[in-house]
Structure 1
Amino acid sequence: MASSQRGVRALGCLVVLALAVGAGLGAAYLMGRENGNIAPSALEDRCILTAAGDSVTLDPEQAHYASIIVGTAVRRGLPARAGSIAMATVYQESGIRNLDYGDRDSLGLFQQRPSQGWGSPSEVRDPWYATDAFYDALVEIDGWQTGDINDVAQAVQRSGYPEAYRQHEPNARIIASVLAGRSPQGITCAVRDDAPGDPEGLAASIEKTLGIAVDPGSAIAADPGDDNTRWALAHHAVANAGRYGVSAVQVGDRRWTRSDGSAPAWQPSEEPTDGVVISFR
């Protein structure tokens, strides 16, 4: 009888231990996903960005903010390097999340502090405002075009962890290259979001982010002129496919077609387009 009771108690302890370990692993996973250290799995909605044979995976929320951050550099006529510096910064500061909390009064993607003159709390949580504020400060840094990315980011942010941006440089470079249009066919997304097509919403995002005015209709057709800008526009649409109900994006003779739950590759098209054509659900 006593032996049986000990066995029951031992089993109970094992169950409690297993639950505790499971809860701990779950919390660690969620924390890693929140801070950007753990990429979404193949079972989750995700965007895969590839440049020069290397890839990085973001979830749709991160891809949305990344498209704004790098796209704003395109609008301002800044080189892809500016986007690399900005992306290394937001990776470290927020995990590419628009946080409503932070150290002391830090907020938003860049964890900018209203008390330090970055803007009001609502402004620094506006991704377009916050990104413009970052670039305004960046271009005032001597040698930012050629200096070490970590050191330039630190000169802007003045972080208590001055070497922390360095670890994010490889991923930041990939994201900036793709979303600035320097790596054609460089993004694909797997999204299950059943949001209806929203050409007006995407057109507004394109103009606000990239500075390219497009006419929304059942589809969006635009030719911004040069190849880099065409691909920046196309990649912006793919990165936000779930948000705006995008079904396909075509640039010339290359076409990306959304396939719910999978991340399809760009494919040849037998009907080339002039510029970029974006279709909706």
Structure 2
Amino acid sequence: MLVDVAQFSQERPRWLVPAALGTAVLLALVVLVIVVAQNGPAARPTCTVTAPPNSPGLRSSWSGSPEQMDNAATIAAVGRKLGAPDRAITIALATAIQESTLANLRGGDRDSVGLFQQRPSQGWGTVPQLLDTVTSSTKFYDALLATPGWAGMDVTEAAQRVQRSGFPEAYADHEPEARTLAVAFLGQNPGGLTCTDLDLSEPPADAVASLARDELGSARLSGPQSAENGWAIASWLVGHSTRLAVDRVTYDGRTWTAASGTWTQTGAADGVLALHRVGEP
């Protein structure tokens, strides 16, 4: 019998086919592992507030998501707009950390909603009002400041008079980080707030001027500022950087950029505030 040698040499044994596929898959997995190892896992957007050196009673640093820092910025700014004492702002932040971990929750225990888990059934307002962070923060401050003797109370007692929580002792647990946040957003810790690895690809959720009027009571966000007010606004801008698509803030010769995530000296100390948003010239 004659055998077609050419045809035989071109045919591949059936058992070689799955083996070849297995080798290809293995090679693809090796390449994927190498690429991941070289590039590393995707960095998570993070905002960090750091206390000034030698600050007893403050947490040395506290990190959270951009959403958490965005809400902290709102709480502190509303307090400043209302003229609330620094202590009241610390109490408000400690309360929101305990009640919602600084997330604007759409639900909770029974009918509780929002940053402070306020209940419509208890007269706090409607659900849409309480999911508005400016409104819910304002309602908390109004209730706190109307409480006789609140300024002489510890955090637990003052917050409990407002919130009527089933776990009142938990508020005091968050006082150290609340004070660290307050110091930064009150402008008492220059460069104390940074945000890194932000995703600024989405269009801004709010206009800078309208948000500033709602939270700060003024849309004047550039030009000469007093030291404390300038750093308070600068921290507010960094805290809201994702919402407002702010990729650069400069105050008094120091600049934070979303690309670097840090504050660096970029000019002479001049008391001037400036900001830049993604897509602007």
Distance 1:80 1:182, change over 3 A: same
- The answer to whether structure 1 residue 276 and structure 2 residue 273 are counterparts is yes
Question: Hey, what does 1:239 align to over in structure 2?
Answer: 239
What is the CA–CA distance in structure 1 between the aligned matches of 2:189 and 2:161, rounded to whole Å?
28
- The answer to whether structure 1 residue 152 and structure 2 residue 168 are counterparts is no
The code of the aligned residue for 1:211 comes to G
Q: Is the 8 A contact 2:76 2:89 kept in 1?
A: yes
Q: Is the 8 A contact 1:100 1:107 kept in 2?
A: yes
What is the CA–CA distance in structure 1 between the aligned matches of 2:201 and 2:165, rounded to whole Å?
39
Equivalent runs, 1:168-187 vs 2, <5 Å: 168-187=174-193
Question: Hey, what does 1:226 align to over in structure 2?
Answer: 226
The code of the aligned residue for 2:276 comes to S
Question: Hey, what does 1:255 align to over in structure 2?
Answer: 255
Deviations, residues 7-60 of structure 1 (Å, cap 9, x unaligned): xxxxxxxxxxxxxxxxxxxxxxxxxxxxxxxxxx99310111012241110100
Q: Is the 8 A contact 1:206 1:236 kept in 2?
A: no
Count of paired positions? 232
Q: Is the 8 A contact 1:46 1:60 kept in 2?
A: yes
Question: Hey, what does 1:35 align to over in structure 2?
Answer: none
What is the CA–CA distance in structure 2 between the aligned matches of 1:272 and 1:121, rounded to whole Å?
46
What is the CA–CA distance in structure 1 between the aligned matches of 2:201 and 2:210, rounded to whole Å?
17
Equivalent runs, 1:1-281 vs 2, <5 Å: 43-53=43-53, 54-195=60-201, 198=204, 201-214=207-220, 221-223=222-224, 225-259=225-259, 263-264=261-262, 266-270=263-267, 272-281=269-278
Q: For residue 271 of structure 1, report the CA deviation from its aligned partner.
A: 5.0
Q: For residue 273 of structure 1, report the CA deviation from its aligned partner.
A: 4.7
Q: Is the 8 A contact 2:73 2:236 kept in 1?
A: yes
Structure with bigger gyration radius: 2
| Ranges in structure 2 where 5+ consecutive residues have no aligned partner | 1-40, 54-59
What is the CA–CA distance in structure 2 between the aligned matches of 1:83 and 1:254, rounded to whole Å?
26
What is the CA–CA distance in structure 1 between the aligned matches of 2:231 and 2:65, rounded to whole Å?
20
Q: For residue 213 of structure 1, report the CA deviation from its aligned partner.
A: 1.9
The code of the aligned residue for 2:142 comes to D
Q: Is the 8 A contact 1:67 1:236 kept in 2?
A: yes
Give me the identity figure in percent.
38
Deviations, residues 73-108 of structure 1 (Å, cap 9, x unaligned): 111111221111011111111111111111111111
TM-score scaled by length of structure 1: 0.77
What is the CA–CA distance in structure 1 between the aligned matches of 2:42 and 2:228, rounded to whole Å?
29
Q: For residue 274 of structure 1, report the CA deviation from its aligned partner.
A: 4.3
What is the CA–CA distance in structure 2 between the aligned matches of 1:42 and 1:82, rounded to whole Å?
38
What is the CA–CA distance in structure 2 between the aligned matches of 1:50 and 1:199, rounded to whole Å?
27
Question: Hey, what does 1:25 align to over in structure 2?
Answer: none
**Larger displacement relative to structure 2 (191-200 or 89-98):** 191-200
What is the CA–CA distance in structure 1 between the aligned matches of 2:268 and 2:247, rounded to whole Å?
17
Q: Is the 8 A contact 2:227 2:271 kept in 1?
A: no
Question: Hey, what does 2:34 align to over in structure 1?
Answer: none
Superposition RMSD on alpha carbons, in Å? 2.1
